[in-house]
Amino acid sequence: MTKIREKAMHAVFLFSACIAIFGVLMICIFLFAEGIPALREIGVFKFVFGKVWNPSADEYGVLPMILGSIYVTAGALVIGVPVGILTSVYLAMLCPVKLYRIIRPLIDILAGVPSVILGLFGITVVVPAVRSIFGGWGSSILAASVVLSIMILPTVISVAESSLRALPTSYFEGALALGATRERGAFSVMLPAASSGVAAAVVLGTGRAIGETMAVIMVAGNQSVMPSSIIKGVRTLTANIAIEMGYAAGLHRDALVATGVVLFVFILLLNLLFSALTRRRER
Amino acid sequence: MLFIFASCGERNSIHVISREAGSGTRSSFTESFTLVDENGYDLTRADADINDSTGVVLANVSSDEKAVGYTSIASLSDKVKAVSIDGISPTAENVISQKYKASRALLVVVRPDISTEANDFISFILSPLGRRIINDMGYVSVPYDCEYKKSALSGKVTVAGSSSVAPVIERLAEEYEAISDIEIELQQSDSSSGIRSLSEGICDIGLSSRNLKEDELMLGLVPYEIAYDALAVIVNAKNPLSDLSSQQVSEIYKGDIKYWYEVIDDENS
């Protein structure tokens, strides 16, 4: 009797695990089955390197959007990663316990802020600020990068902090015993020792930034033209799909699915990078 | 570095805000201001800011003195200024008298074999009470000789179609359901699919923000204009501009006019 129950429960657990795998597989199959015919019809090279996106004239080039996603994400990393890493070092090693009990929950709250709220914050605060400080129209790569950098902070901080905390305390104590200051111990011993975890934090943050849609649509301007300046507007891959999907039919719709394929390839590459990094840490 | 601050010199440039391609608001705007060529190709400048909702357009125009955008007159607020076009301001009177050109009719469409329940709702919409609700929302209602009498009917009426008409119907349905036992089910999509569902018998009433096409009329469908919605060209409240010609609006959106000094002369400011 117990044996049967044991077996039954085994099956239940296996089934649960399979649901997630099934989901991923279905998404892969759907994306590639729907997207590849469009890629073939438009031509992979013309699609990926085409500079003009104009569905009403049947021109589908996603290079502006690929660059858009890359620029916006890179901007978010330039702002978010240094702040995130410094914060994680502070939280893991230098911060007084009392202060930690205040900062940590606040970061968790930031992690839970819905992206549309960040978008609203962007449109009422960041966009006008960019406009008055740097000129231009406000809705821009810079505005989107600032909003995204806030969004990826909790991810970067949490993953980097936990990888710092996972190190043996003897590293830090040893550094102090050898006469290093706390700061020197943190930056010269701990941070390098946790480097693969910190890198993983950056990769996860990148994934979050490149996949974000709502907040970016609200602050980026969404012009499907080649980005020419960081205070000019840009459209990301995600925004391209979200804005046009509701109206698209025929080849236009397939081209949007193919845009999803491009985005999916980016995410896959990031995930491979992430698992390579974490595997290195485990070894 | 040149790349980064290349556009710092454009402080007086017009911040052109448009809606996403495919949006009903954008298509009626481009039609009203001759922004489509004979092949149906949209001539709006490719680097115009694309906002995907009315709310975002309003937020951007109200926060940027250099912005220009467009919206339904039902969504106008004090935070933005609607300019007059060729000297005619987008008011209800000018829309009714058809002096103000940039307007479109909002339609409800029914089949000839309309159910009595759907007919009851239609007569509510066309009644003086229905018209008052439409006017209160900022649209311009159309006068019909129709009295609504509360009936003893009950059941369900399915309404489907244009998301530009849906907010009006939603509001009307609230009032209607309060005095009637008929339940209104509203499904938002777009004009074409609303009309298609109507002809296929999936819904009782279709909503459209464009006139019916020849082949749709051939099916015997009956359209009622319930309201007019006009598109207002809006600028920031601090902008001295009060009037544009439709030619100027067209050139601004094509990118032929790029700076405010090209349209604001001394007379205006």
- Total domain count for chain B? 2
List the CATH number of the domain containing B235. 3.40.190.10
Q: Does one domain contain both B91 and B167?
A: no
Confidence of residue A63 (pLDDT cuts 50, 70, 90): very high
Chains A, B: CB pairs < 8 Å = 92
| Interface confidence (ipTM) of the complex | 0.81
Place of tokens 């009637």: B180
Q: Does one domain contain both B35 and B125?
A: no
| Domain ranges, residue B159 | 104-229
Is a pLDDT exceeding 70 seen at residue A282?
A: no
Q: Does one domain contain both B262 and B223?
A: no
pLDDT, average across residues B72-97 = 88
Confidence of residue A260 (pLDDT cuts 50, 70, 90): very high
- Angle at CA of residue A85, ends A84 and A88, nearest 5°: 85
Helices (H), chain B: 24-32, 54-63, 92-96, 116-126, 128-136, 166-179, 191-199, 214-218, 246-254
Residues in chain A: 283
Is a pLDDT exceeding 60 seen at residue B180?
A: yes
Q: Does one domain contain both B50 and B123?
A: no
Task: Give the closest of B20, B41, B63 to A244, CB-based.
Answer: B20
pLDDT, average across residues A74-79 = 96
Using an 8 Å CB-CB cutoff, list chain B residues near A139.
49, 60
**What are A108-140's pLDDT values in tens digits?**
999 999 999 999 999 999 999 999 999 888 899
Separation between Cα atoms, residue A65 and residue A71, nearest integer Å:
10
Separation between Cα atoms, residue B68 and residue A153, nearest integer Å:
34
Which of A71, A139, A228 would best serve as a mutation to test chain B binding (most B beta carbons within 10 A)?
A139
Separation between Cα atoms, residue A227 and residue A220, nearest integer Å:
11
Place of tokens 């004979």: B38
Task: Give the closest of A54, A57, A135 to B8, CB-based.
Answer: A135
Could you tell me the two tokens for A170? Answer: 């003897």
Question: CB distance A128–B40 less than 8 Å?
Answer: no
Q: What is the pLDDT of residue B137?
A: 87
Separation between Cα atoms, residue B247 and residue B85, nearest integer Å:
9
Q: Does one domain contain both B131 and B238?
A: no
Q: Does one domain contain both B176 and B191?
A: yes
Q: Does one domain contain both B66 and B122?
A: no
Q: Does one domain contain both B42 and B71?
A: yes
Query: What residues form DSSP beta bridges with B69?
Result: B234
**What are B254-264's pLDDT values in tens digits?**
999 999 888 87
Rounded to the nearest 10°, the torsion over CA B193, B196, B198, B199 is 180
What backbone phi and psi angles, to 5 degrees, belong to B47?
-100, 20
Q: Does one domain contain both B12 and B84?
A: yes
Q: What is the pLDDT of residue B9?
A: 43
Separation between Cα atoms, residue B214 and residue B119, nearest integer Å:
24
Separation between Cα atoms, residue B63 and residue B237, nearest integer Å:
9
Model confidence, pTM: 0.82
Pick the closest to residue A242 from B20, B172, B114, B261 (CA basis): B20
Could you tell me the two tokens for B119? Answer: 């007919």
Q: Does one domain contain both B95 and B112?
A: no
Give the 3-state secondary structure of residue B91: coil
| A244 Cβ under 8 Å from any chain B Cβ | yes
Q: Does one domain contain both B153 and B40?
A: no
Question: CB distance B5–A231 less than 8 Å?
Answer: yes
Q: Does one domain contain both B124 and B205?
A: yes
- Show the domains of chain A with their CATH numbers: 53-282 (1.10.3720.10)
